[in-house]
Amino acid sequence: MNRRTLILTLAVLAGCSERVNPIAPAEPGSAVASDPSDPVQISIRDLIVERLAVDRSKVDMNRPIGDPPLSADDLDLVELILDIEERFDVSIPDEELEKVTGAPAAELPSRITPAHLATLAKQAMERAGKKAE
């Protein structure tokens, strides 16, 4: 069983397939700078569009992915992280998700934004000695 299958299986067994109601929006001022020409942010937006089957124009880089119109749940977040790890050939530790948002794991879909995901990808690439393309 590969890592992706194992994580998805564990997420489903843990009940992560239920929709999460947003608890609180991201803290004011916690938005990460959005740069439409940044290749990492472009890739993150593409992954979200593909994974969540939403129109590209609906992806606001500074709006939590758990909020409408994306309405991502815990399982969607796990799958997005796996997609990011695969796309950039990096590893993103769970504790980094909590660090970048300042939110506990249970609140992540209601707090993490696409810009946060781009920051996580960039940090993981730096740790791995890779350059954004």
- The residues carrying an active-site annotation are 73
Residue 83: count other Cβ atoms within 10 Å of its Cβ. 19
108: CB partners within 8 A, 6+ apart: 74, 77, 97, 98, 101
The SS3 of residue 94 is helix
Angle (deg, nearest 10), helices 3-13 and 74-88: 170
Cis bond upstream, residue 69 (ω within 30): yes
H, E, C per residue of 12-36: HHCCCCCCCCCCCCCCCCCCCCCCC
